[in-house]
Amino acid sequence: MNEERTRERLIEANAREYGPIFNYINWIDEDRARAATQERTRLLQSPGLAVSCLGTKIHHGPLSPGCLQCAGMAWSCLFISGRCNGRCFYCPTPQNTDDPPMSGSVPFHRAQDYADLVRFFGFGGASISGGEPLLDFEKSLTYVQALRRTCGPDLHIWLYTNGILVTEDKLRRLADAGLNEIRFDIGATDYNLKFLPLAAGIVPTVTVEIPAVPEEATRLRLLLPDLCAAGVSHLNLHQLRLTPHNARYLLEREYTYVHGPKVTVLESELCALALVAHAAGCKLPLAVNYCSFVYKHRFQAAASRKRFGGQLLENGESLTGTGHIHLPHAALPAAHDHPAKPSGFTAVGPEHPTYAAAFLRPQASPEFPYREIPLAADFSVFLERHPARPSEGAAAQAPAQDPSGIYPPSLDESCEWITPGLGVYF
């Protein structure tokens, strides 16, 4: 699909998602997009910046141990519940439901079942998120204990928290259970740092992970030395994202919105890049990482497909760089424990899909071929095989990087390679 058609498709999808409020959103125009692209290019040329993950991660200093697992496509995340005691204006979801622990679409009511999943698929890192994990501390602790007991010392385990309910006793019990890293969203506490030095003396790695809020740019820049002094080793910055839930809060602010697979805030990306450039220019001991939305959209989805797709390969099939299953043209895919061959996989050729993608499900669907993965005598998960079509007009190979390691922004999509570079402003 050429770039213009891709833009039209994404704009149409965003219009459907936001309905009546779509026309009230302050969308970026061509002049602002041109100026912002120039500003981003200038920031990316700042001395001392590191570029990784095909130009979708920009950072000063090393990535945190947990981020290395994610970048290496070896991370699993468990959402312990859907409830949080914070009131962050930028949160993309309501966070007011008592959901069971979930990873992807699969509920894990027992800690051992989740630990068995992590071991079976060979993940190198696992995190406990929420909601707020410390709202049900004992449950979160049980999952950390099960992960360490089942997966051994090499698994990197971390936990996300807003810090509101942190105590020294909880930190020590988590560390004793095998927690390697703790990540604080200090935006939830008006950037209060009081628990950071305490955690730094107990948990091996302390990371602060927050969205880059543009109006807090000066405050955040001045906080960087204080984070170093508090024992924080890594600062992760995310891009603000508009959702139907937080739109009533974000649209009150003077932000500019950018189209894409999801709607993002222009000024948030520029704020994050400026903070990384500042840290690099000052040669701070604090590592600062911009984890862009396009990184999450491209790499985390590819990681899931690759991890699960490897269990479904057959008849000379192979995995692509995006984790898609590539079907040989002459092969007729089997139905994989499925009594009927699904439409879209009964024939192959130029007019039919030559790719498939794997998805983890709690139950098998009659619509797709699947493989059952028994994790316990009374608990299984299912890997479904869905057809995937390469995008029309996608480039045959990834664009080349420039000498500094920066890739041009791109809207190309492919089932073969992960799209490099940051997002296009439109």
**Per-residue model confidence as pLDDT tens for the chain (426 residues):** 578 999 999 999 999 999 999 999 999 999 999 999 999 999 999 999 999 999 999 999 999 999 999 999 999 999 999 999 999 999 999 999 999 999 999 999 999 999 999 999 999 999 999 999 999 999 999 999 999 999 999 999 999 999 999 999 999 999 999 999 999 999 999 999 999 999 999 999 999 999 999 999 999 999 999 999 999 999 999 999 999 999 999 999 999 999 999 999 999 999 999 999 999 999 999 999 999 999 999 999 999 999 999 999 998 999 999 999 998 864 444 444 443 333 333 333 344 458 999 999 999 999 999 999 999 999 999 999 999 976 655 555 666 766 666 888 988 888 999 999 999 999
pLDDT at 177: 99
Q: Which two tokens stand for residue 380?
A: 């299984």
Going across the sheet that includes 287-291, the strands are: 50-52, 57-60, 287-291, 234-238, 205-211, 181-184, 156-161, 125-129, 75-79, 102-103, 106-107
pLDDT at 399: 64
Which helix (H) or strand (E) segment holds residue 201: the answer is none
Q: How would you label 14-53 residue by residue, b for 16+ Cβ within 10 Å and e otherwise?
A: beeebeeeeeebebbeeeebeebeeebeebbebeebbbbb
pLDDT at 272: 99
190: region left, alpha or beta (phi > 0 left; psi from -120 to 50 alpha)? left
* Domains delineated in the chain: 20-291 (3.20.20.70), 317-426 (no CATH)
Predicted confidence (pLDDT) per residue in 170-228, tens digit: 999 999 999 999 999 999 999 999 999 999 999 999 999 999 999 999 999 999 999 99
pLDDT at 345: 35
Predicted confidence (pLDDT) per residue in 235-278, tens digit: 999 999 999 999 999 999 999 999 999 999 999 999 999 999 99
Catalogue the long-range contacts made by 163-168 (C-beta closer than 8 Å, 24 or more residues apart).
163/188, 163/189, 163/192, 163/195, 164/85, 164/86, 164/132, 164/134, 164/188, 164/189, 165/85, 165/132, 165/134, 165/135, 165/137, 166/134, 166/195, 166/198, 166/199, 168/198, 168/202
pLDDT at 391: 63
pLDDT at 167: 98
Q: Model pTM?
A: 0.92
pLDDT at 333: 44
Q: Which letter does DSSP use for residue 242 in this model?
A: -
